[in-house]
Structure 1
Amino acid sequence: MSDRADLQELRKEAHDLDVTVWVGKGGIDAVTDELADQLADRDLVKVKFHRAARGGTTTEDLAKDLAEAVDATLVETRGNTAVYH
């Protein structure tokens, strides 16, 4: 199975996931440990970025930075949420 097919499958799985990590004014540094812990227990984790976290940047940029911080794969960003594997 190709990486593209894997990502499509993960996106399908992520559709019905509930958000379990919220990024607020503390930024991504405040949630890196929590996200890493959740990813150790499950395949996919959905994260919501509140307006206070975004400041002058975009959800996509924050999502990429958070993926790097926890060494995870960013499956997708949609609106103010991101899904990690």
Structure 2
Amino acid sequence: MTTKTDPAMQDLKPTVWIGKQGCTEAAIEEIVAHLKKRTVIKVKWLQNTEVDPESVAASAGAALVGVRGKTMVLAQRGKKEKK
């Protein structure tokens, strides 16, 4: 399934990485800080780490744009992705 946001999501470089400790409070704070600077960010995590993208988005107060594999795209809540 393809959407209009796929090319934009592919061009976006990961700005936050979640390591083997999982999604800690520090990781959430980092996501919030990056969302204040940008409207859309990409978050990646390690293969052996369990992360629930919906709970990460809810904890950070962000909108979950999409998930592909071990990568999620988050946007500021109430703002749409620029084309």
Global fold match (TM > 0.5): yes
Over the residues paired in the alignment, what is the CA RMSD in angstroms? Answer: 1.6
Q: Which one-letter code corresponds to 2:20 in the other structure?
A: K
Question: Residue 27 of structure 1 aligns to a residue in which SS?
Answer: coil
1:25 to 16, 20, 24: 20
Distance across 1 between alignment mates of 2:32 and 2:43? 12
Distance across 1 between alignment mates of 2:20 and 2:58? 19
**C-alpha contact (below 8 Å) 1:24/1:51 kept by paired residues:** no
| Unaligned stretches of 5+ residues in structure 2 | 76-83
Distance across 2 between alignment mates of 1:44 and 1:14? 9
Considering fraction of residues, name the structure with more strand: 2
| Unaligned stretches of 5+ residues in structure 1 | 1-7
Matches within 5 A, 1:1-85: 10-29=5-24, 30-54=26-50, 59=51, 62-85=52-75
TM-score w.r.t. length of structure 1: 0.74
Compute the displacement of 1:27 (Å). 1.3
The count of residues paired between Structure 1 and Structure 2 equals 72
Task: Work out the percentage of aligned pairs sharing the same amino acid.
Answer: 32
